[in-house]
Amino acid sequence: KAKNEAANSYCYFSTDLQVEMNKRLDVGNKLRKALENNALDVHYQPKYDLRSGEMVGVESLVRLSDDEGGFISPLNFIEYAEETGLIFRLGEQVLEKSCISAKRWLDAGVPTKVAVNISAKQFTDSKLVDTVAMILEKTQLPSKYLELEVTESALIENYEYAVNQLKLIAKMKVSIALDDFGTGYSSLSYLRLFPLNVLKIDQSFVRDMLTDSQALDIVSTIIELAHSLHLQIVAEGIETAEQKNKLDELGCATGQGYLLGKPMNYESLTQLLLPSLHNNDQYV
Ligand code: C2E
Ligand code: MG
Ligand code: MG
Ligand code: MG
């Protein structure tokens, strides 16, 4: 009997594993194909000045098309891309597409800074700095319109190397944002040593700040920290007017979230920047 049960549970386990492996294979195939065809999609989420309502920039977010005309979330393929090394090509394509878009907006008279996510694995690449320089040169985007978003874990894993890389990036006048701030190690001593420009308050704190006084304390502490270190501050994941008003009251100058604007494709973001312009005339 025991033997049977063991055989059964092995069977279930094997089926689950099979499903997982098929999913992984499927995402892998789609990702490889998209990379080969330069067909990754990049969406842009606007960032706003919370007081004036003016758009102050965008964050670029990669998207992979599925078979039903929808998109697969990066949460479902970034890790895979990191494990397989595909992240380097992915990163390069997203960076290039983002810079091309920002250059078009600049040329159309609506200069807009684009922030590109860089994962921890990409940050270990000794060619990262050269790649950024090469893409800026190729797309002719002035470096002040580019920002890189890195996470605390990317910086902490290899601390001295990270400081050097960041200094080289800062020298190019590309700005640097610390993403998901508050969820990682948050060691205060390194904040002083890294050449950072922006702190992004993680969306989990914004989500909970009106119902959980600890989350609220963390949010206001991060805002004060940013002020005293002369860093710009961006709140992520603003979904309600109450959250937006509270953040404004606490002195948070800029924010992004579904309340203010969802991630959208290049054409839609361009419409937002240039409402009077018909995209088809200009860009297709
Ligand atoms: P992130 O950089 O922290 O990006 C913010 C995520 O929050 C995005 O999810 C965005 O769509 C979502 N978001 C924006 N506003 C709201 C809101 O009001 N409520 C909620 N619940 N979510 C909101 P997305 O696009 O699925 O990306 C997830 C993560 O994947 C990103 O987190 C980033 O870490 C990573 N990622 C996205 N694009 C890239 C990329 O091109 N390269 C790399 N290396 N990582 C990327
Ligand atoms: Mg980000
Ligand atoms: Mg984030
Ligand atoms: Mg995140």
**Cβ(45) – ligand 1 distance below 6 Å:** yes
The pLDDT value recorded for residue 160 is: 87
**Cβ(239) – ligand 1 distance below 6 Å:** yes
Which residues of the chain fall short of a pLDDT of 50? Answer: 1-3, 279-284
Tell me how far the alpha carbon of residue 177 lies from the centroid of ligand 2, in angstroms.
Answer: 9
The pLDDT value recorded for residue 276 is: 67
The pLDDT value recorded for residue 74 is: 95
Identify the residue whose C-alpha is closest to ligand 1 atom 33: 117
Q: What is the mean pLDDT of the chain?
A: 91
The pLDDT value recorded for residue 10 is: 53
Tell me how far the alpha carbon of residue 275 lies from the centroid of ligand 2, in angstroms.
Answer: 26
The pLDDT value recorded for residue 167 is: 96
**Cβ(182) – ligand 1 distance below 6 Å:** no
Residues 152, 180: contact at Cβ < 8 Å? yes
Tell me how far the alpha carbon of residue 160 lies from the centroid of ligand 1, in angstroms.
Answer: 27
**Cβ(86) – ligand 1 distance below 6 Å:** no
Identify the residue whose C-alpha is closest to ligand 1 atom 27: 74
Tell me how far the alpha carbon of residue 234 lies from the centroid of ligand 3, in angstroms.
Answer: 10
The structure's pTM equals: 0.92
The pLDDT value recorded for residue 9 is: 52
pLDDT digits (tens, 9 = 90+) for 217-236: 999 999 999 999 999 999 99
